[in-house]
Structure 1
Amino acid sequence: MIKLLYVNYLKNFQFELEFSDGTQGVFDLAEYLNNHHGPLLEPLRDEKYARRCFIDAGALCWPNGLELAPARLHEPRYLKSVA
């Protein structure tokens, strides 16, 4: 089972991620929010709130209880290579 080990906010809703299999990349939260909607996602549209992310049990989380599964974030459509 893959886990998220490291998250670092870069800028413009982009997060640098590193996973337990050694994969690294950039997750674009703004792009994700353009395609996903719901009450738990709404606070993340505020950059200050989005930056409050943390890792819990290998998932990317926020204080409102939202968790994004590491397997989902690891998918090529969400994780862009670090150039």
Structure 2
Amino acid sequence: MHKVIDVKPVDDYKLIVTFDNGIVKEYDMKPKLNEWPFELLKNKAFFKAVKVDTGGYGVSWNSDIDLSEFELWKNGKDINLV
């Protein structure tokens, strides 16, 4: 599985995720915002505090809220940043 090397939160509760193979995907968080513990991400300041986990195994906001690299890869949409 490809590792995450960068994540950027953008408006409308989406993440722009860059993988170690150069592929960039957009992951829409909106469907998860009504699930525990993701509902805490409705706070935009908290949502924007996302970071890449050590080793690139996913992204996280704190020790309870995270997404794996597999989830981001499988359910993210390929985007072209040109």
TM-score by length of 2: 0.79
Answer whether contact 2:26 2:78 (CA < 8 A) is retained.
yes
**Corresponding position of 1:68:** 67
Q: Secondary structure at the match of 1:52?
A: coil
Tell me the CA shift for residue 14 of structure 1. 1.2
Answer whether contact 2:23 2:78 (CA < 8 A) is retained.
no
Runs of 4+ deviating beyond 6 Å: none
| Identity over aligned pairs, percent | 21
Say which of 40, 44, 62 aligns to 1:43: 40
Answer whether contact 1:41 1:66 (CA < 8 A) is retained.
yes
Amino acid at match of 1:12: D
Q: Secondary structure at the match of 1:74?
A: helix
The number of aligned residues is: 78
RMSD of the TM alignment (CA)?
1.7
